[in-house]
């Protein structure tokens, strides 16, 4: 027969095991809850992104119609119209500046190619124009 000391140890081990299982169950529940919350947040973020995209597309479509003169905005949106016109003008100015820089870069590249072509033929490079 088992000694009373051994039965106490077995009982303590069994009690510790039961407590560990209970703690694990609580932890599992918390992890499942956190996972559900994270999934809900991701879904919410995706829905917000889709809403933002839909608003942007609506705004672009309306602005395209206004720009073509096919549609007029209500008077209370005149500030929005002015802001869009200002931003559009800035974008057009920036694009023109970028195009100028690209053309200048192409011209520099062409001159460099011509210079390299002359150098590879053993010809002296053309003199500097003054």
Whether residue 41 is contained in a domain is answered as yes
Is 29 a domain residue? yes
Query: Of 48, 72, 96, at which residue does a domain stop?
Result: 72
Instruction: Say yes or no: 68 and 78 in one domain.
Output: no
Q: What is the pLDDT of residues 76-105, one digit of tens each?
A: 998 998 998 999 999 999 999 999 999 999
Residue owning tokens 């889709």: 50
Q: Does some domain include residue 1?
A: no
Do 13 and 26 lie in one domain? The reply is: yes
Query: What confidence score (pLDDT) does residue 118 get?
Result: 81
pLDDT tens digits for the chain (130 residues)?
557 788 999 999 999 999 999 999 999 999 999 999 999 999 999 999 999 999 999 999 999 999 899 999 999 998 998 998 999 999 999 999 999 999 999 999 999 998 888 877 765 555 566 5
Domain hosting residue 109, numbered range: 74-122
DSSP assignment of 79-106 equals HHHHHHHHHHHHHHHHHHHHHHHHHHHH
First to last CA, the chain: 116
Tell me the helix, strand and coil percentages in the chain, rounded to 5: 85, 0, 15
41 and 24 fall within a common domain: yes
Q: In 10 A of CB 81, how many CB atoms? A: 16
Query: Which of 111, 91, 88 lies closest to 99 in space, CA to CA?
Result: 91
Would you state the pLDDT for residue 127? 59
Task: Note the pLDDT of residue 6.
Answer: 83
* Residue that is last in its domain, among 72, 91, 114: 72
Position 35 in a domain:
yes
Q: Are 38 and 20 in a shared domain?
A: yes
Give the distance from CA 3 to its chain's centroid.
Answer: 69
């Amino acid at each position: 027969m088992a000694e009373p000391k051994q039965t106490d140890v077995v009982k303590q081990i069994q009690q510790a095991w039961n407590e560990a299982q209970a703690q694990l169950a609580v932890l599992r529940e918390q992890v499942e809850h956190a996972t559900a919350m994270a999934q809900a947040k991701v879904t919410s973020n995706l829905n917000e992104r889709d809403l933002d995209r839909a608003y942007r597309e609506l705004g672009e479509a309306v602005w395209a119609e206004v720009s073509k003169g096919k549609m007029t905005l209500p008077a209370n949106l005149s500030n929005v119209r002015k802001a869009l016109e200002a931003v559009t003008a800035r974008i057009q100015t920036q694009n023109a500046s970028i195009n100028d820089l690209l053309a200048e870069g192409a011209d520099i590249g062409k001159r460099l190619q011509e210079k390299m072509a002359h150098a590879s033929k053993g010809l002296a490079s053309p003199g500097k124009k003054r």
